Chain A
Amino acid sequence: MELRKSYFADQRKDDLHEIGQPRPRSDSPGHVTGKTTYFADRNFPGMLHLKMVRSPHHHARIRSIDTSEAEKHPGVVKVLTAKDVPHNVYTILILIQIGPEDETVLADGKVRWKGEAVVAVLAETERAAQEAAAKVKVDYEVLPAVFDMDEALKPGAPIVNEYHGRNYYLYDSGECRKVRFGDVEAGFAEADHVLEQAYQSSPIEHAPTETTGCIVAPEGNDRFTCYTNTQAMFFTLDNASIILQMPGNKLHFVGGTVGGGFGGKVDVIVEPIAILGAKLTGRPVCFIYSREEEMQISSPRAAETVVIKDGVMNDGRIVARKVTGHTDAGAYSRHSPYGAQKGAGHYPGPYTIPNVWIDTYCVYTNRTPSSAMRGFGVTIGDFALEVQMDKLARLIGMDPLEFRFLNAYRDGDMKAHRQPTEGAALIECMQEASRAANWPVAEQFMAISSYAKGA
């Protein structure tokens, strides 16, 4: 690939040695020889295996839990329930002051999604743990569940999560994240055409080849080493410290080698309970998701709905854009309030539009809690926005790439969320794309740059 010297010529250094040069990855020699050490490639004498008893219901009250048969099962060493977890109700973003704590490590009195962890069984072998888990008796009273965001927001819908008390996340801005810029209604009134379209997506599973898990080994001095494939090392350490009410210096996290993550390994799910198991038994503990758990239990990308209403002029200028986005968090927050908020900042897209109105909601349903995945909060939004851009171009009979050039943001433009545009390179990317794809655009668009207009 060639880097064109004409782009940003006055800002560039041309003594770069690495760009455009293939360099061997430092981790590949380990991968091709089978020597790379993933967390599960460790084995400790006396290691216990942890299996989770999970809710078979989408929404239910727990009347009672009877672990007596499971405890008698040969090979079982310990059975854990909610009362064993020092700080059982948590939320991972509390580290950046995004509360309230709304999720249980082990279910206490209620389950809010099918697959929720209820009881943890630790045994000498995986098989014994599995068999004992099947002997745990949980008496449930099934409650009405809600699976659809529109249904969840209707008055009288079953409340999914009492820690919120309503089926949406309450931001400091109210029921949704809001961006207001210019006068969107005046923009629609002035527009030659108005186009409103709805887009929606389903949850998406990351499906990493290595399933989520960790191995915890007691160091014999009240300190625990946790070998994990988390993508969020310090985040996990700090949350484990809160959940276990243990100072961080008692927790030694080892990781960084991840057999595929894609965002699916940033929640704090396996480590705290495995550390607790190691603490209460004094033995090493392995908790690794089965393939079924990886597909059904680990957080997917959130389902989203996006409604975009645009006002456009016959000459191609977009004069107004109104977006309403809904993110399905499932039963618990995890990273979704943040994802929905990212959407609010992102939704105008890389285009300069004088009148913008955005509302994004984070909604609770009795579905599997969703969380991070590759650009979460903006990926589905980008899909919707760019399909919308094509539709708008077609509506006014303009070439779709030229339509984007005309509306592209450039340095100095004020974005709807009041950040001035700096360091934009959209125009240059599109110029290169136009050449690479052999999709010619009018000469005037090949002559402009992302630098401030008129400069």
Chain B
Amino acid sequence: MAKVPVQFTLNGAEKAEFIDSGTTLLHALRDKIGDTSPKGGCHQGTCGACSVIIDGELRLSCLTLAEACNGATIITTSGLSERGVLHPLQRAFLDAFATQCGFCTPGMIMAAKVLLDHTPNPSREDVVEALSGNICRCTGYEPIIQAVLTAARSNSQNAA
């Protein structure tokens, strides 16, 4: 099969790969580039485990073609902590016991980050809405919602 070149910025680093045309971004990230933080829970757009941020927007990497990401800026959960210091969302998920098996966590954090980037002081309803595309089978969601609200509060305190 003919290979196509793709090039994008992943968590601040330039990446270039030759891939099979039709390869999903999830597959390219995990199996070509080696960033396994996006997870494949369904490969059909229903679980949210593969969520990543493309040019500031929340996207499902299992439904995104890698070749459509040429020139894009992509962020994944593995790129959030800086020099070992956790992002406020990561800290809040840790402190609020918002992870159990952890399989949904990277996707949840992506969805929460896009929410807080757009809406720094979300209501509980905003959080529920923002996470509505992400399935968690373990936690019952409540600790995750609390973690996102806590992260929002700590962000606004830092900003103040």
Q: Please name all residues of chain A whose beta carbon is closer than 8 Å to the beta carbon of B77 when the two chains form the complex.
A: 32-34
Q: How far is the CB of B99 from chain A (nearest CB, A)?
A: 4
Q: Please name all residues of chain B whose beta carbon is closer than 8 Å to the beta carbon of A63 when the two chains form the complex.
A: none
Interface size class of A (residues with CB under 8 A): 20 to 34
Interface: A258 (CB within 8 A): yes
Q: Which of A25, A40, A209 contacts B135 (CB 8 A)?
A: A209
Tell me whether A32 and B90 are in contact (CB under 8 A).
yes
A contact patch SS: loop
Q: Complex Cα distance A349/B112, Å?
A: 44
Provided the pairs A43-B31, A258-B101 are in contact, do residues A33 and B46 lie with their beta carbons within 8 angstroms?
A: no
Which chain A residue shows the least CB distance to B77? A34
Q: Please name all residues of chain A whose beta carbon is closer than 8 Å to the beta carbon of B39 when the two chains form the complex.
A: 38, 209-210, 259
Q: Please name all residues of chain B whose beta carbon is closer than 8 Å to the beta carbon of A259 when the two chains form the complex.
A: 39, 41, 101-103
Which chain B residue shows the least CB distance to A27? B102
Tell me whether A209 and B136 are in contact (CB under 8 A).
yes
Which chain A residue shows the least CB distance to B31? A43
Interface: B43 (CB within 8 A): yes
Tell me whether B99 and A291 are in contact (CB under 8 A).
no
Q: How far is the CB of A287 from chain B (nearest CB, A)?
A: 14
Q: Which of B40, B80, B93, B94 contacts A40 (CB 8 A)?
A: B40
Tell me whether A41 and B101 are in contact (CB under 8 A).
no
Map CB proximity to B onto A16-51 as digits: 1 under 8 Å, 0 otherwise: 000000101101111111111110110100000000
User: In B13-40, which residues have CB < 8 Å from any A CB?
Assistant: 30-31, 34-40
Q: How far is the CB of B116 from chain A (nearest CB, A)?
A: 15
User: In B52-111, which residues have CB < 8 Å from any A CB?
Assistant: 76-78, 80-81, 86, 89-91, 93-95, 97, 99-106, 109
Q: Which of B80, B91, B137 contacts A208 (CB 8 A)?
A: B137
Q: Complex Cα distance A30/B90, Å?
A: 10
B contact patch SS: loop
Tell me whether A210 and B101 are in contact (CB under 8 A).
yes
Binding site for A on B (CB under 8 A): 30-31, 34-44, 46-47, 49, 76-78, 80-81, 86, 89-91, 93-95, 97, 99-106, 109, 135-138
Tell me whether B36 and A41 are in contact (CB under 8 A).
yes
Q: Which of A35, A41, A207 contacts B137 (CB 8 A)?
A: A207
Sample of 7 A–B contacts (CB below 8 Å):
A31-B102, A32-B94, A34-B37, A206-B137, A209-B47, A259-B102, A291-B46
Q: Complex Cα distance A198/B101, Å?
A: 37
Q: Complex Cα distance A262/B139, Å?
A: 12
Q: A22-B97, A210-B101, A260-B100 given. 7 additional CB < 8 A pairs?
A: A31-B106, A32-B99, A33-B78, A34-B77, A43-B31, A43-B34, A260-B101
Q: Complex Cα distance A36/B138, Å?
A: 16
Tell me whether B102 and A291 are in contact (CB under 8 A).
no
Q: Please name all residues of chain B whose beta carbon is closer than 8 Å to the beta carbon of A32 when the two chains form the complex.
A: 77, 86, 89-91, 93-94, 99, 102, 105, 109
Q: Please name all residues of chain A whose beta carbon is closer than 8 Å to the beta carbon of B76 when the two chains form the complex.
A: 34
Q: Complex Cα distance A34/B108, Å?
A: 11
Q: Please name all residues of chain B whose beta carbon is closer than 8 Å to the beta carbon of A38 when the two chains form the complex.
A: 36, 39, 103
Q: Please name all residues of chain B whose beta carbon is closer than 8 Å to the beta carbon of A211 when the two chains form the complex.
A: 41
Interface: A197 (CB within 8 A): no
